[in-house]
Structures are given as structure tokens and as C-alpha cells.
A and B are shown apart, each in its own frame.
Chain A
């Protein structure tokens, strides 16, 4: 059992380093440190950074996966640029892959084949690059969900959240630009799709199409333009935004999960040097190593089987990489709505799911911190994370969002689902047209109920302690179970979250009050100090027992539950 220590004895970062007798390593370090300090003030930086505290939790490493994937992308990407030729000029293939011998293809495709078959380790680099691109977006996504569900986007981190959303959007575009470069049949099909997508934009569509492609599809320019976007423009923006993201992280210090000793005024964890450096540095090599092994053993994008791009060819299973799958799904399940007004054509069937939905998602994500801040009216800083259950409505919204996203993803893979599970393609699409609206609502209601139920469980533990599993029979024949009091640490963890009172007050507008009722109206209130003391007292009287079927304790919490104004669930 962990033993709580009094706060006054809490370990803090020592302001002045303890006297140490310099060992051989320290003596050797002294010279370079002095040199660097005299020129760039390295000692000051070191003193500030080296003992910075990072809290330890696996979910805090999701963002690190994204950072490391980005570094792996830079490294492997540089290798690929050494041999890749971003040109759509036509050449005849004479390389070592027999099954494409003598075919006409673009230099981009030819050089990609060259990397894959004639450069030793080239295929490995290509596959690592592609896998880490998948992981880059996947880990950004997972990291974003962690931040969302724990409320880490609240003040003062709203800007960092927005930067994160921008990173996700840019990462997606970057990935798309990347998989379009090899100019194989699949990437060409993807470009064809983008051509149709751009074209569908009302009023300016045709102009945008001609400007992006330098004329008619496919033209001669798109590969070299995407190359510039892929290796210069977006990586530059990503790099800048990542730098800003990290700088803000350092400035704000990392958030932490609730726990004994954790408050909004401190951060508890391990120092950057040496523990976190070894852990985070080690994790970089682990991510790198796993990506390498994936590149070695899992084939990705076998573009030599797709063949060179040919606008008259297509393959079953033409899909984008996973992070565009939801847009693909939306476009697949969208009904064929198109308006023909006068001599103009309005392609709602393409522009709404393709352009509109992406805009909607990233806008919603971007403004979410302010929506929540508006309805809570909370102006305080938050550094202790919320457990998802203590904010049921937010968590339910998140799960509903994920559900909608998954429904659309399923739409994007409906042909693969149809063949793998022997289902009807058309029925999947028809079901998804409904499910994309219904499933999120169900997910919302279920999640909210689960969260509230979980807070009730917490309440139980706080008021009655944990179940010991020991059943006693009283002389009268009644049965009761021994309950053991939970530790003060756990009790603190379960009660340290914020509560937002639902009030009709002068300070907030009626609309704000309504929103707040919707958001927090169903929440369980945590017990007050008095209630906890009463419960503890009550337990003492019962000698730690809690009669089974005894319901009067629930009434204590029940009576404090805020009144519901409308049946929202």
C-alpha cells in the first residue's frame, strides 16, 4: 500500500543543486558546458529545461507517437527524394520488374519502381514512409480524442487545441499529396476523384480545376505541384505548427490526471533529465523500430501491381488511405442530388459530402473549446484533467462523433465489407444512409447513461467504501457485506473534479442556462464534506457494515440531484 506523505515533505525540484563531488563524467562535461554557456547561455536553458516535470501516463504518449512519426517521415522522405523524379514525362519502362517491361509510364512512376526494385533498401524506405504516414495521422487522431475526452483543451490550452486541429487537417492533406505522387493507377484514380471534387464547387469549380491541374485533367503539372506541396509547403507549415505546439506545451506544462497531490497549481511526475529523456527518447526508437518492422513484414501500396496510371483503367477496391475513408464513405452513401438551374449545374452530391463535410468537421473541432467555455461560463485555468465520466455530456458527444465517423468509414469500405462478409453492397449503403444519423444519437444516449452510472459507482465507493466480499449473517438472519473505507488518496481522486451548477441566474442568459441544463443537468453531484463525514460516521456505527438492500444512503445523493426541466434522455 502506498503511504501518503504530508504535503510539507513533498519532493520539489531543488532550487540549488545539492553539493556533489564531481565524478569523471561530470568533470568532462564541465568544459563543453562552460563553452556553450559563455556563448548561448546554455546553463540557464539547461537549468530551466532539464528538470522540467512530465507526468507519466500511457495516454500522454499518443501525441509523442505523432511527433516521432513525423520525424521518421522526414528521415525516410529525404531518402526517397534522392531517387524520386516528380515528372509526368512519358518513358518506357526498362527496369528490373518484369511484369511492366516495355510499358509507357510517367517518370514519377518509373522512378518509384526504381526505388522499390533497384535500390537496396528502397522498398523498405518506401513502406516505412507509408506506414509512418498512416501512423502519423492515426496517432494525431488518437491524441486528439484523448485531449477531448479529458477536457485538456480547456483554458489555457484552447490555442494549442486549434493548432492541433490545424495539424490534423494539414497532415491529412499532406498524406493525400504523398500518395498521389507515385502516379500509379490507384493514386491516379485518387487524383481523378479530386479533379471531380474541385470541379463540383459551385461558381468557381471549373476555374479551380484548371488552376490546380494547369488545364485539363490530368495535364503535365499536377505531380510536380503536389511534390512541392508535399515536400516543402506542408512540411514547412507542419514543422512550424509542431514547434508552436511544443512551445506551448512547455509553457503551460503538461496536464495531469486527478490523483493524490495533483492540483491545478502543480505538476507531478518525472524530470525530463534523466527519466523522461530516456523514456521519451526510448519511445522514439521504439516507434521507429516498430515502423521499420512493419515496413519489412507488411506490404503497403504495392504500386507495381496497380500499374501506371491510365484514365481508362480502374481497380475494384479503389479507396484512399484510411484518414480520407470517411469522406469517401460520405461521398458513396450520398444520394445523387444535383440541381440543374438554367444553364448551370450544382453538384450537391459531391460538394456537400466532399468539401462541406471536411469543412464542417474541422470547424466544429476548432470552435469546440469556446462552445464549452460559453456554456460553462468558466474562466479558470484547468490543469487537472477530467475523467471522461465526470463530464457525461461531453463524453457522449465525443462518442457520438466517433460513431458518425465510423459509420462514414464503413461507407468508404462498403465494397470490401460486402465481399468479405458476403453482404449486399447496396443494402450497406442504404442502411448507412440512415445509420449515419441514428447511430450517433443512440451512442450519445447510451454513453451518457454509462457515464452517469459510473459516477454512481464512484459515489458508492466514496460513501460506503469498497466491497470486501465478506458476507456476515446477523443473529436475526439478515445478511450484510463488510465495506472497507477507501484510501484518502482515492477519495481525493474521485472528488477533485469541477462541478458546474445548473442555476437560473442573473449572470447568464436564458439560452446559456438552457444549454447548461442540457449539458450538466443530469450529472451526479459529488458528496459534500458533510455527507462524507456523515457516511463515515454511519459506517462506524455499523461497524463498517452495510446492510444489503439498504437504500437510505442513495437518498442522500438522490435528494441533491438537480431537478430536470425536460425529458432529455
Chain B
């Protein structure tokens, strides 16, 4: 082979002296024998190692079973700051060791004891021989002939059409995957929240109403609409995902309040949607000195002292502000729903009414 010249089916010319191989192929090098081949003691050592590995597996497996039944769930291993669950860790340790040792033993067996001789296998080309290919094409033609597809062409075409049309019912069945977000459905779902005139602002979790006088400058309240309590099950989550708000109080002299929003706040108490306009994470990382609100998911930063405009990050729109007032008892109430849809953008969203920096 080293001196002959041949062309295989891949079209690759194999010559020892062509440009591809300026050096003659010396053939596979044969490694000298291993210690374990020549030295009986080394061989026996490897043998003992493998058997010990396999022999320890039942030990760990039995330990696993013992731990499963004997170690109580509430036993802990104290490692400084961490309190590891003893049962969990010990089960994992014994099972892991049992499994690992099977592998280590098998690999060492292969490495040190099994034959070390590298072997060579001839490759065949991925392609079939020219004759086979010709024969296959022939068979296909013959089959096409026998099926009369060539002569009665409409059979094939109509079959293809028939199969193709079967996709339609399959796809159409999926049309009920969810409700259709038509204009009216959108108006009832993603474009409205349960906020409305007179709905009290209450603390999230505790549902305690918020009195305007109780808020000091620099205070933040994570709040919800009072009527959220009336909902049950998944409706709570659906509405909470839109209605969640943050209430902040800032010094009215240190912030910009546009003309159009002068009645939306109560002595510097402003209320914004908690749902990011980027992809909808709830945001409440409010810096009381800079008035910036940071989203922990993608770091969009909104300036709550300037009608919620974006000052950094990937968000494209200001945070919607909820107009608020107080009721006769001094509690904060909403005066309407959000004037624009809350949450991330969607194609049909009319974003012309969103606040932009400099608007009045």
C-alpha cells in the first residue's frame, strides 16, 4: 500500500508520494507491553484493584439500604454555615460511590488487563458503489412504471394533495389552544386591570389599607388593589400579574410632575405599576435617594421622580402610573384604572399615549 497507487470510491487518490502525504505512512506503531503484561505482580495488583472496586459496590449498596431505613429525615450534619440533611447526603454518597466504583473497576480492567493491541479496520465509503446506485435508481424507475404513476399522473398529484390537506384539520384543531386575542378580548384581558375609581390601595400580603398620612418621604409600599381579595384560585395570579403596584413617597420639590399628572399624586405619593414594561418582571428595587427603580431581571431602570421614564436598560417604554387620591378617611384610592395597558409590549398595543420624557 505504501508504494502502490489506487483510487477508491470516494475519489480520493491515495499515493504515498503525493502532496497529501510528503512523508511515507509508517503504519500503526506498536506500543511496548505494559507493566501489567510483563510483570506478574503488577498484573495481580491491577486484578486485585478491579475486584476490590467491584467488591466494594455491594458494601455501599447495603449501606444505602441501611441508611434509607435507619437515618431519620430530621438529622443534620453541621458544616459551619451549612446544615446538610444527613439522610440525603449519606444516601447520595453511598449510591454515588457504588455506581462510581462499577465504572472505575471496569475502566481499569480495560486499561490494564484487557488486550492492549490497537486494531485497524478498513473503512468503506459512505456512498454505495456505482452499480448499486444504478440498480437502485433502476428499481425506483421500475416501481414508478409498475405503479402507473407516470401514465396516470393525477393519481400521484391527487394523493399528494389529499395528504397535504390532512394537515389542515390537524392544525385547525389547535385553534382552540387558547382564547383568541381579538380587540374586544384584549380589552377585557391584557388591556385592563381590576383597578378602578375608588379602589383602595392595600399592602400586599397583609391587605392593610394605606393611609396617606402614614407614609413618610422615602417610603416604599408593595401594594395591591383591595378587590384582589375577592378573587379566588388562578384568578388571583392572573390579576395580580397585572395589578401589582408600588407606592412611593418623594419630596414633591425634588421630582418632576408634568401638568397632565398634577392630580395623580397625593403630596408626593406616587403609584406605579410593578410590572416591568420590558418582559414583565415585578420591579421594586427602588433607590430612595435617586428615585430610580431597577428591574432585577434585565436591569431596566425607571425614574419614578420623572413619571417613570426609562433611564437605563432594555425597556422601551415608561412605567405606567396609576392616578391616585384619598378617600374621606384618608386612605389611598385609585381614581381610575391604569390609563395605558401595563406589562410588556405586544404588537397590537397602541403606545402613542405612553408618557415620554418631556411630555406635559
A and B touch in the complex (CB under 8 A): yes
CB within 8 Å for A278 and B107 given contacts A206-B186, A318-B297, A499-B19: yes
Contact B296 A314 (CB under 8 A): yes
Most chain A beta-carbon neighbours within 10 Å: one of B10, B21, B120: B120
Q: Is B101 an interface residue (CB 8 A)?
A: yes
Q: Which of B85, B181, B278 contacts A350 (CB 8 A)?
A: B278
A101 contacts B by Cβ under 8 Å: no
**Which B residues are in CB contact (< 8 Å) with A89?**
233
B residues 315-332 in Cβ contact with A at 8 Å: 315-317
Bound complex: CA of A211 vs CA of B177, how far in Å?
Answer: 5
B56 at the A interface (CB under 8 A): no
Name which of B149-157, B206-214, B257-265, B348-356 contacts chain A. Answer: B348-356
Q: How many of chain B's residues touch chain A, expressed as a range?
A: 35 or more
The residues of A that contact B234 with a CB separation of less than 8 Å are 88, 90, 218-220
B-side binding surface: helix, strand, loop or mixed?
Answer: loop
Report whether B85 and A123 are in contact in the complex, using a CB–CB cutoff of 8 Å: yes
The verdict on B29 contacting chain A, using a C-beta distance below 8 Å, is: yes
Which chain B residues border A210 with CB–CB below 8 Å? 177-181
Residues of chain A within 8 A of B250, CB atoms compared: none
* 1/0 contact string of B168-211 vs chain A (CB within 8 Å): 00000010011111000010011000000000000010000000
Cβ-closest chain B residue relative to A159: B126
Q: Are B27 and A7 in contact (CB under 8 A)?
A: yes
Q: How distant is the Cα of A338 from the Cα of B347 in the complex, in angstroms? A: 11
A299-338 interface (Cβ within 8 A of B): 309-318, 328, 331-338
| A283-B178 in contact (CB<8A) | no
A380 in contact with B123 given A285-B106, A286-B103, A495-B21 (CB within 8 Å): no
* Interfacial chain A residues near B284, Cβ < 8 Å: 314
Whether B238 is near chain A, meaning CB under 8 Å from some CB there, is yes
Q: Is B345 in contact with A289, judged by CB distance below 8 angstroms?
A: no
Q: For the complex, what is the distance from the CA of A96 to the CA of B72, rounded to whole Å?
A: 13
CA distance A415 to B119 in the complex (A): 53
Q: Is A195 an interface residue, CB under 8 A from the partner?
A: yes
B23 interface residue (CB < 8 Å to A)? yes
A-B contact number at CB 8 A: 397
Q: Do A261 and B120 form a contact, CB below 8 Å, given A4-B27, A214-B177, A218-B238?
A: yes
Is the beta-carbon distance between B28 and A318 smaller than 8 angstroms? no
Q: Does B14 reach chain A (CB closer than 8 Å)?
A: yes
Which of A264, A314, A527 lies in contact with B10, CB distance below 8 A? A264
Residue B288 CB within 8 A of the other chain: no
Contact B14 A296 (CB under 8 A): no
Specify which of B22, B104, B240, B344 is in contact with A529 (CB 8 Å cutoff). Answer: B22
Chain B residues near A312 (CB-CB < 8 A): 204, 222, 224, 240-241, 244, 274, 282
Establish whether residues A121 and B91, one from each chain, have CB atoms under 8 Å apart when the complex forms: yes
A388 at the interface (CB under 8 A from B): no
* Interface contact A13-B11, CB-CB below 8 Å: no
Q: Report the Cα distance A469→B297, complex, angstroms.
A: 58
Given A267-B120, A282-B102, A296-B93, check contact A5 B27 (CB 8 Å): yes
Of residues 273 to 313 in B, which have CB atoms within 8 Å of A's CB atoms? Answer: 274-275, 278-285, 296-300, 310, 312-313
Given contacts A293-B93, A332-B298, A495-B23, contact A285 B99 (CB under 8 A): yes
Q: Considering only CB atoms and an 8 Å cut-off, how many residues of chain A contact the other chain?
A: 144
Among B20, B27, B91, B233, max chain A CB count under 10 A is at B27
* Interface hits, A189-223 → B, CB 8 Å: 189, 192-193, 195-197, 199-207, 209-221
Which chain A residues (484-541) contact chain B, with CB distance < 8 Å? 487-489, 491-492, 494-496, 498-499, 526-529, 531-532
| Chain A 235-277 interface 0/1 with B at a Cβ cutoff of 8 Å (1 = within) | 0000000000000000111000000111111111111001110
- Contact flag A265-B114 (CB < 8 Å), given A285-B103, A289-B100: no
> When A7-B2, A200-B345, A289-B103 are in contact, do A206 and B91 touch as well, CB less than 8 Å?
no
Determine the chain A residues whose CB is within 8 A of the CB of B186 once the complex forms.
206
Nearest CB of chain B from residue A552's CB, rounded to whole Å: 20
- The answer to the question of A551 belonging to the interface, with a C-beta cut-off of 8 Å to chain B, is no
Known: A90-B233, A312-B240, A335-B314. A345 touches B346 (CB 8 A): yes
Asked whether B28 lies within 8 Å of A261 as measured between CB atoms, the reply is yes
Q: How does the 8 Å CB contact mask read for B4-20 relative to A, with 1 for contact and 0 for none?
A: 00001011101001011
CB-CB contacts below 8 Å: B46-105 with A? 68, 73, 85, 87-89, 91-93, 95-105
B32 at the interface (CB under 8 A from A): yes
Among A10, A123, A195, A211, the residue within 8 A (CB) of B120 is A10
Instruction: Decide if A347 touches B92 in the complex (CB within 8 Å).
Output: no
- For the complex, is B147 an interface residue (Cβ under 8 Å from A)? no
Quick check: A284 and B103 within 8 Å, CB to CB? yes
B29 near A124 with CB under 8 A, answer no
Chain B, residue nearest A336 (CB) = B316
Which residues of chain B from 100 to 144 have a CB within 8 Å of any chain A CB?
A: 100-107, 109-111, 114-115, 117-123, 125-127
Check B106–A212 contact: CB distance below 8 A.
no
Known contacts A124-B92, A314-B282, A336-B300: A281-B120 contact under CB 8 Å: no
Cβ of A239 to closest chain B Cβ, rounded Å: 22
Q: In the complex, which residues of chain A have a beta carbon less than 8 angstroms from the beta carbon of B233?
A: 89-90
Q: Tell me the smallest distance from the CB of A501 to a CB of chain B, in Å.
A: 9
Q: What's the minimum C-beta distance from A69 to chain B, rounded to whole angstroms?
A: 14
A380 to B12, CA, bound (A): 6
In the bound complex, how far is the Cα of B222 from the Cα of A117, in angstroms?
Answer: 31
In the complex, chain B residues 155-172 whose Cβ is within 8 Å of any chain A Cβ = none
Contact A199 B345 (CB under 8 A): yes
B219 at the interface (CB under 8 A from A): no
Chain B residues closer than 8 Å to A3, beta-carbon distance: 29-30, 32
B282 touches A313 (CB 8 A): yes
Chain A residue nearest in CB terms to B274: A312
A53 within 8 A of B: yes
- Chain A CB within 8 A of B31 CB: yes
Question: Residues of B contacting A218 with CB < 8 Å?
Answer: 234, 237-238, 241
Would you call B107 and A282 a contact (CB within 8 A)?
Answer: yes
Given contacts A218-B241, A347-B345, A415-B296, 17 further A-B contacts (CB under 8 A): A2-B31, A11-B120, A118-B73, A196-B344, A206-B347, A212-B178, A220-B234, A278-B107, A278-B114, A281-B106, A282-B103, A297-B93, A316-B285, A338-B345, A346-B347, A380-B12, A495-B21
Query: Mind listing 9 A-B residue pairs with CB under 8 Å?
Result: A13-B120, A53-B119, A189-B281, A270-B118, A289-B99, A296-B91, A488-B23, A492-B25, A526-B22
* 6 nearest CB pairs, A to B: A296-B92, A289-B100, A338-B316, A196-B279, A285-B103, A282-B106
